[in-house]
A and B are shown apart, each in its own frame.
Chain A
Amino acid sequence: AQSVAQPEDQVNVAEGNPLTVKCTYSVSGNPYLFWYVQYPNRGLQFLLKYITGDNLVKGSYGFEAEFNKSQTSFHLKKPSALVSDSALYFCAVRAAVNNAGNMLTFGGGTRLMVKP
């Protein structure tokens, strides 16, 4: 079975400071990893993904994430947070070789609060 853990329910950061939202995963074989952002009463917006290749993945809105196979982590980062980054962030995983209908498993979500 595949699983995702986002250990922090909420992350608070001051505007202009770097931010990190943590994600660890468990999956059989190689993972496909995703980050999504959700604003209130909205669906999920895709931020970035890791499929293969460079462990550092750059995505939308200045976000990036680093795939660390030994630590089974895929932490989301941004060098300088904006107030508008305040939202709910979800990490998701699926196995590269997938016999479960391409099913994604989501973490519990982390609320990011960026204060001016």
Chain B
Amino acid sequence: GAVVSQHPSWVICKSGTSVKIECRSLDFQATTMFWYRQFPKQSLMLMATSNEGSKATYEQGVEKDKFLINHASLTLSTLTVTSAHPEDSSFYICSALTGQGSYEQYFGPGTRLTVT
């Protein structure tokens, strides 16, 4: 149980274009999803918390207009990197909580984004 998928697993895009990453909870409804980014050999940095049906809460220093998050349903959250630059190249990981009062996050396999 509690499986989270991400699509795509890797993507290469050109500078200036936008790319969308999907995060799905496959066998449960996720009222809350989290988006992290991870640079090589570094820890996970929380970018934003996404609650179904409401606007995402972004961490300090994360540009909300650049990293658009949509959590339109209880099983899907999307992260769109707009006008991508090479410095946006990173490993993006989502996670989900299984419900209200839940304390265990289940992580997706990650999406490697390379911006050329």
Q: Which residues of A contact B (CB under 8 A)?
A: 32, 34, 36, 41-46, 49, 51, 90, 94, 98, 101-104, 106-109
Residues of B within 8 A of A (CB): 4, 6, 32, 34, 41-44, 46, 49, 51, 57, 91, 93, 95, 97, 102-110, 112
A44 touches B93 (CB 8 A): yes
For the complex of A and B, the 6 pairs showing the least CB-CB separation, nearest first, are A43-B109, A44-B107, A43-B110, A43-B107, A108-B43, A101-B49
Give the residue name and chain of the A residue nearest to B109 (CB). A43
> Which A residues lie within 8 Å of B32 (CB)?
101-102
Interface of A is mostly: loop
> CB distance A51 to B103 under 8 Å?
yes
Is A41's CB under 8 angstroms from B110's CB? yes
Contact in complex: A32, B103 (CB < 8 Å): yes
How many angstroms from the CA of A46 to the CA of B104 in the assembled complex? 9
Bound CA–CA A7/B68 (angstroms): 35
Which single residue of chain B is at the shortest CB-CB distance from A98? B103
Whole-angstrom CA separation of A101 from B95 in the bound complex: 13
Residue of A nearest to B9 (CB): A41
Docked complex Cα distance between A15 and B91 (Å): 30
- Whether A90 and B43, one on each chain, are in contact in the complex, defined by CB atoms closer than 8 angstroms, is yes
Separation of A98 and B101 alpha carbons in the complex (Å): 10
Once the chains bind, are A109 and B43 in contact (CB under 8 Å)?
A: yes
Query: Looking at the complex, which one of A42, A101, A107 makes contact with B43 (CB distance below 8 Å)?
Result: A107
Q: Which of A44, A94, A107 contacts B103 (CB 8 A)?
A: A94
B109 / chain A contacts, CB cutoff of 8 Å? 42-43
Q: Assess the A90–B103 pair: CB atoms within 8 A.
A: no
- A107–B42 Cα gap in the complex (Å)? 9
Point out which of B6, B41, B44, B91 has the most chain A C-beta atoms below 10 A from its C-beta.
B44
Instruction: From B49, B51, B102, B106, give the contact of A46 (CB < 8 A).
Output: B106
* CB-defined contacts of B44 to chain A, threshold 8 Å: 44, 90, 106
Q: Which residues of B contact A32 (CB under 8 A)?
A: 103
Q: What separation, in Å, do the CA atoms of A107 and B97 have in the docked complex?
A: 20
A103: B residues at CB distance < 8 A: 34, 46, 49
Query: Looking at B32, B95, B102, B105, which has the most chain A CB atoms within 10 Å of its CB?
Result: B105
